[in-house]
């Protein structure tokens, strides 16, 4: 047995003891929290289904390939590998899709190559902005995102630029 096997049971025991000490009906509070958790899942589910549907439309309709073929001369002029370009577009939309692309890059080129390092740094410098906004704002019912989408995508663009610059400076 390892110490890590006891961490979660000890945390649960601590919560129960603390609740009893504060004279809280621990079991009833747990049941109420579980009900709220299920309600939150029900509220988030349509947002997740919509997001999955939109990502599949984007990937299956070849819109991404048309955009990539249109922009590929610009990226070639900037010495950006063509296999990185889909990662740049999918990372703000879906974390799991971008991880699949990073894994494909690692399998094809290796993690210690220029393109592997660029994919790694790009993955770390950007966020799943559209996913986060749709999930978090959708779960609490915010319909007007104001400047959140613009600022999030701007931060992603800056992360992409920074990853290209620093990988070129450090590894190329």
Choose the final residue of a domain: 61, 78, 102.
61
What pLDDT does 169 receive? 92
What pLDDT does 67 receive? 80
* Residue range(s) defining the domain that contains residue 49: 1-61
DSSP classification of residue 84:
T
With b meaning 16 or more CB within 10 Å and e meaning fewer, what string describes 90-126?
A: bbbbbbebbeebbeebbeebeeeeebbbbbbbbbebb
What pLDDT does 7 receive? 92
Is residue 122 within 8 A of residue 165, CB to CB? The reply is: no
What pLDDT does 60 receive? 80
Choose the final residue of a domain: 15, 37, 61.
61
Q: Are residues 160 and 84 both part of a single domain?
A: yes
Q: Are residues 79 and 40 both part of a single domain?
A: no
Q: Are residues 16 and 74 both part of a single domain?
A: no
- pLDDT, tens digit (0-9, with 9 covering 90-100), for 101-143: 899 999 999 999 999 999 999 999 999 998 888 878 877 778 7
Alpha carbons 65 and 57: distance in angstroms, whole number:
13
Q: Are residues 86 and 47 both part of a single domain?
A: no
- pLDDT, tens digit (0-9, with 9 covering 90-100), for 7-58: 999 999 999 999 999 999 999 999 999 999 898 888 878 877 887 787 778 7
pLDDT band at 145 (very low <50, low <70, confident <90, very high): confident
What pLDDT does 65 receive? 78
Q: Are residues 30 and 74 both part of a single domain?
A: no
Q: Are residues 5 and 16 both part of a single domain?
A: yes
- Strand, coil or helix: 103: helix
- pLDDT, tens digit (0-9, with 9 covering 90-100), for 60-91: 888 877 887 888 888 888 888 888 988 898 89
The answer to whether the Cα torsion of 95, 96, 99, 101 is positive or negative is: negative
Q: Are residues 136 and 169 both part of a single domain?
A: yes
Q: Are residues 53 and 67 both part of a single domain?
A: no
What pLDDT does 14 receive? 94
Choose the final residue of a domain: 61, 79, 105.
61
What's the number of domains the chain is made of? 2
């Amino acid at each position: 047995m390892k110490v890590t096997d006891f961490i979660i049971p000890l945390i649960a025991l601590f919560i129960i003891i603390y609740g009893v000490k504060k004279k809280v009906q621990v079991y009833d509070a747990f049941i109420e929290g579980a009900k709220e958790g299920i309600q939150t899942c029900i509220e988030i589910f349509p947002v997740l289904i919509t997001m999955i549907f939109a990502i599949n439309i984007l990937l299956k309709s070849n819109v991404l390939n048309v955009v990539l073929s249109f922009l590929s001369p610009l990226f070639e002029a900037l010495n950006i590998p063509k296999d990185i370009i889909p990662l740049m577009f999918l990372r703000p939309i879906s974390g799991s899709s971008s991880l699949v692309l990073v894994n494909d890059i690692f399998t094809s080129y290796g993690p210690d190559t220029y393109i592997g390092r660029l994919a790694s740094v790009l993955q770390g410098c950007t966020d799943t902005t559209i996913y986060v906004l749709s999930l978090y704002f959708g779960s609490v019912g915010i319909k007007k995102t104001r400047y959140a989408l613009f600022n999030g995508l701007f931060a992603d663009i800056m992360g992409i630029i920074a990853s290209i610059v620093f990988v070129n400076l450090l590894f190329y």
